[in-house]
Amino acid sequence: MDRSLLSGNEAVARGAYEAGARFGAGYPGTPSTEILEEFSRYPGVYAEWSPNEKVALEVGIGAALAGARVLVTMKHVGVNVAADPLFTVSYTGTNGALVIVTADDPSLHSSQNEQDNRHYARSAKIPMLEPSDSAEAKAFVKAAFEISERFDTPVFLRMTTRVSHSKSVVTLNEPVPPPEAEVKAPDPRKYVMVPAMARLRRLEVERRMGELRAFSETFPENRMEINDTDVGIITAGMPYNYTKDVFPDYSYLKLGMVYPLPAGLIREFARRVKKLYVVEELDPFLEEQIRALGIEVTGKELFPFTNEFDPGIIALALTGRDAETIAPPAVAIPPRPPNLCPGCPHRGLFYVLGRMKVFVTGDIGCYTLSFMKPLSGLHSCICMGASIGMAHGMSKAAGEKGRGKVVGVIGDSTFVHSGITPLLDMAYNKGEAVIVICDNRTTAMTGMQEHPATGFTLQGEKTKELDLAALARTLGIDSVRTIDPYDIKNTREVLREELARPGSSVVISRRACVLFKRRPREVLKPLRVDVNKCTGCRNCLALGCPPISWRSFQDLPPEEVVRNTKKQDGNAYIDPELCTGCTLCRQVCKAGAIVEVD
Amino acid sequence: MAERKKKNSGQELQQPVRGILMAGVGGQGILRASDILSHAFMASGLDVKKSEVHGMAQRGGCVTSHVRYGAKVYSPIDRRGNVDILLAFERLEALRYLDYLKRDAKVVINDLALNPPAVNLGEMAYPKDILSFFTATFPEVKIVKAFELARQAGNARAENTVLLGTLSRWLDIEIPVWERVIKEAFPPQAAEVNLRAFHLGREA
């Protein structure tokens, strides 16, 4: 069969397709996003972006009850949103097959926390598999579908950023045909979880866990590699590769199933090696369970609790010797954090907000980056949707003193995900905060995914387009206005008016993401600085726009220095290759020094 | 540092795992370049793994990609002090990942400076003398004006393929394999430009 170089995420999609899954639902979130995008392109597949992870899981439960094999994908914090149906679908079972992918993010590459979702498997009593590379990702998702159907249980597939976003060689196989789904005859004792029935299903869950524990002893992906028996390593997922890279000759118990654990296999492995280590990122999840078996093991006293590992971290922990590296020259290396793109529509809005005396509760999206200097236009970020409830709570608690002082900002996709109920709360409970929906017409941060307000589905079909302004009015918001964030003066005026107004306000700051290709964007001429007019006031630099830089006169050849004011010590420069011509800098330049490139 | 024990299969001894680190700035085409490189290793019959962190790739932040190849590769990322070849798409980014390099690492640096925000704002200086530090520190350093060569090839955005061409001089991958994987990575017209860019980089 064909060999292909696939990312872990592409391999999960391929594995689900090969396993006969034709139904998928999820919400985008790094590092999980590409799984559903890729899955949606296979023939015969129905896949949808749901408004949030809770809805995606509920859609998946319904499809599985009809007998389908279903893939539901989300990032680690998405499981928090989906936790309500999760804990009870464990009781009802799935009828068909239901595989839930949780993509964890050790090192918080693109997340607000570093939670270890293996705990969800234990607390919801759901088995969990964890692959270490793309070939295993494809094999394990197929195993997950088999386990789900055989034991009538949802199954977790735990990915981490490093497995999701690494590519390695995968052998492709032919897909098996999907099962036929149908609307089943009702079975209230299994699916109506009122207390009397749920108590019975509760017993069933414990019986199933017993069966799964027995299964884990013979599951071939829990495998021993006996080599040098002086040292034995129990590990799973990507840390297996890191450890194997530096210590290929130790003995390994590699766990493909991280919950429930195979107690017999672990005891046998412990007997066969002299010194036993557990190598796992984040929490001592395996370690504590192995200790509870009465087995002596070394783990977190040597290995860090935080961040993802790499082969060097393993080597340092097990040998105490750090890598030999080359001494750097004695210079400060300027950091290069991610930044809002040139021409980003968020920039104008946050330039204005950063200059008002308001607390801006923020949310999850590209615009979160505007907390940084020089914009400094956002002051909190907790989770998807939190901005609105927080703004309402803050404004209520501060009472009269808080009037006109609190703004909540939230992206269009994030608003649809979990901003609607808090906005309803604010209207219902007579809140007075100003909520800005940063509507860039797409889910930009994760790479331009569709959502209910874009008018398109994941599979590219035109559909109903949610009218955000009409929704806000229907929820009971007193004042709803729309602005173009490329217009700084109007943005400032509208925000001032809404902050001064009694009652609740929603301002929709609407302009498509500058990278969004579906919406044709007028091509604007790049701008340049006229050095004969620039006074060196640095107003334009306060936009934090990547093409604009400061040229100190000290660093310029004398013939290029043009001084327009006495104290001027440099001037601004705009890189014409990067400038998109959005004109924000021209609007903030008091000297009229920013003009179109000829 | 823990030495890699040499008791493995004969095959693994024949083709030990080697690591290439690509480093640059979001938007420079690093992920595409490391994809092409990985396909070239795969097409040459080797095991290969590559890894990078997505998500911020278009927002001007640092982007790195590890490519590791050999008879059997476990880790897709390298440890500090162990990278065999650095392919830096920008001068400052070469310096940022210095601690990943072996003492005798080979280095390709694109002769390009992209100012980070703190430099744009005039708060920090862009370090001087990066190129001379590398040429004084490492035995084999190639400095390439990839932007000019890419423009010469027909598209300034083909910088990444120019740099792959320069890197190719140090790798045991046959030219027809390179040409095939480059053709497969682009639509026909862009493929022609990128093949020219590759060869200009290889001659640089």
Check CB contact of B159 with chain A, cutoff 8 Å: no
Mean pLDDT of chain B: 91
Distance CA A463, CA A373 (A): 40
- Looking at the predicted structure, is the pLDDT value of residue B10 above 50? no
Check CB contact of A172 with chain B, cutoff 8 Å: no
Mean pLDDT of chain A: 97
Taking an 8 Å cut-off on Cβ atoms, the answer to whether A319 and B2 are in contact is yes
Do the domain assignments include residue B20? yes
Distance CA A232, CA A296 (A): 12
**What pLDDT does B176 receive?**
98
**What pLDDT does A1 receive?**
60
Taking an 8 Å cut-off on Cβ atoms, the answer to whether A247 and B5 are in contact is yes
Beta carbons within 8 Å of A484's beta carbon, 6+ residues apart: A490, A491, A509, A510, A511
**What pLDDT does B59 receive?**
66
Check CB contact of A445 with chain B, cutoff 8 Å: yes
Select from A10, A112, A231, A331 the residue whose CB has the most chain B CBs within 10 Å, as the one to mutate to test that interface. A331
- Looking at the predicted structure, is the pLDDT value of residue B9 above 90? no
**What pLDDT does B122 receive?**
87
B8 falls in which pLDDT band (50, 70, 90)?
A: very low
What's the fold here for domain A527-596? Alpha-Beta Plaits (3.30.70)
The angle subtended at Cα A29 by Cα A23 and Cα A30, nearest 5°, is 120
Check CB contact of A425 with chain B, cutoff 8 Å: no
Check CB contact of A6 with chain B, cutoff 8 Å: no
B126 chain-A contacts, CB cut-off 8 A: 334
Taking an 8 Å cut-off on Cβ atoms, the answer to whether A334 and B62 are in contact is no
Min Cα distance B169 → chain A (Å) is 24
The amino acid present at B82, given as its one-letter code, is: N
Check CB contact of B62 with chain A, cutoff 8 Å: yes
The amino acid present at A501, given as its one-letter code, is: R
Distance CA B19, CA B41 (A): 12
Min Cα distance B180 → chain A (Å) is 15
B121 falls in which pLDDT band (50, 70, 90)?
A: confident
- Looking at the predicted structure, is the pLDDT value of residue A425 above 80? yes
Select from A132, A168, A243 the residue whose CB has the most chain B CBs within 10 Å, as the one to mutate to test that interface. A168
Q: Tell me yes or no: is domain A3-218 CATH 2.60.120.260.
A: no
**What pLDDT does B56 receive?**
53
Stretch 264-303 of chain A: residues touching chain B, C-beta under 8 Å: none
Q: Cβ distance A95 to A89 under 8 Å?
A: no
- From residue B52, alpha-carbon distances to A43, A429, A594, B63, B77 in Å are 29, 46, 39, 8, 8
Taking an 8 Å cut-off on Cβ atoms, the answer to whether A338 and B60 are in contact is yes
Min Cα distance A167 → chain B (Å) is 5
Taking an 8 Å cut-off on Cβ atoms, the answer to whether A168 and B49 are in contact is yes
What size, in residues, is chain A?
Answer: 598
B48 chain-A contacts, CB cut-off 8 A: 5, 168-169
Do the domain assignments include residue B87? yes
B58 chain-A contacts, CB cut-off 8 A: 341, 515
pLDDT in tens, A34-90: 999 999 999 999 999 999 999 999 999 999 999 999 999 999 999 999 999 999 999
**Which of B35, B39, B60 is closest, CB to CB, to A339?**
B60
Do the domain assignments include residue B70? yes
Mean local confidence (pLDDT), A478-484: 98
The amino acid present at A32, given as its one-letter code, is: S
Burial degree of A187 (CB within 10 A; 0-12, 13-18, 19+): exposed
**What pLDDT does B3 receive?**
41
Reported CATH class of domain A346-510 = alpha beta
Check CB contact of B61 with chain A, cutoff 8 Å: yes
Min Cα distance A252 → chain B (Å) is 14
- Looking at the predicted structure, is the pLDDT value of residue A519 above 80? no
Beta carbons within 8 Å of A325's beta carbon, 6+ residues apart: B80, B81, B98, B99, B100, B101
Min Cα distance A52 → chain B (Å) is 19
Please report, for chain A, the start and end positions of each structural domain, with discontinuous segments joined by +: 3-218, 223-319, 346-510, 527-596
Reported CATH class of domain A223-319 = alpha beta
Mean local confidence (pLDDT), A114-143: 98
Select from A111, A167, A281, A538 the residue whose CB has the most chain B CBs within 10 Å, as the one to mutate to test that interface. A167
Q: Is B52 helix (H, G, I), strand (E, B) or coil?
A: strand
| Total Cβ atoms within 10 A of residue A429 | 11
Check CB contact of A319 with chain B, cutoff 8 Å: yes
Q: Is A454 helix (H, G, I), strand (E, B) or coil?
A: coil
Do the domain assignments include residue B160? yes
**What pLDDT does B58 receive?**
58
Check CB contact of A9 with chain B, cutoff 8 Å: no
Select from B32, B120, B131 the residue whose CB has the most chain A CBs within 10 Å, as the one to mutate to test that interface. B120
The reply to whether A3-218 and A527-596 are identical in fold is: no
CATH of the domain at B165: 3.40.920.10
The amino acid present at A278, given as its one-letter code, is: V
B118 chain-A contacts, CB cut-off 8 A: 334-335
**Chain B residue with minimum CA distance to A344:** B59
Q: Is B167 helix (H, G, I), strand (E, B) or coil?
A: helix
Q: How many domains does chain B have?
A: 1
Mean local confidence (pLDDT), A406-411: 98
Taking an 8 Å cut-off on Cβ atoms, the answer to whether B75 and A241 are in contact is yes
Taking an 8 Å cut-off on Cβ atoms, the answer to whether A324 and B103 are in contact is yes
Q: Which domain holds residue B96?
A: 16-112+132-203
Q: Cβ distance A354 to A348 under 8 Å?
A: no
**What pLDDT does B4 receive?**
43
Min Cα distance B33 → chain A (Å) is 13
